[in-house]
Amino acid sequence: MKFADPTNDIAFKKIFGDQNQPEILISFLNAIFGFQDAQLINNIFIVNPYQVPKIAALTGSLPMSLVIHLPSK
């Protein structure tokens, strides 16, 4: 079985940009940033994982917009 390479832009967005399963991206971000306990990201809104750039030269990398809700202290 062949798996998608998450370092590929399109594969990353397919894995972590699913608006119906934000817990995958939340878990990834908490692990990358080392958040624990009160710091944990608990809610995220993926605006649009497949925004197409207006400049043709930028088509090699597609931006992904997020709204991250961090817990208040």
- Domain boundaries of the chain, sorted by first residue: 9-69
Mean pLDDT of 53-68: 58
pTM (2 d.p.): 0.63
Token couple for 14? 């397919």
Lowest mean pLDDT among 24-33, 38-47, 51-60, 63-72: 51-60
2-27 per-position pLDDT tens digit: 777 777 777 888 888 888 888 998 99
C-alpha dist (Å) from residue 38 to 17, 26, 30, 42: 24, 14, 11, 10
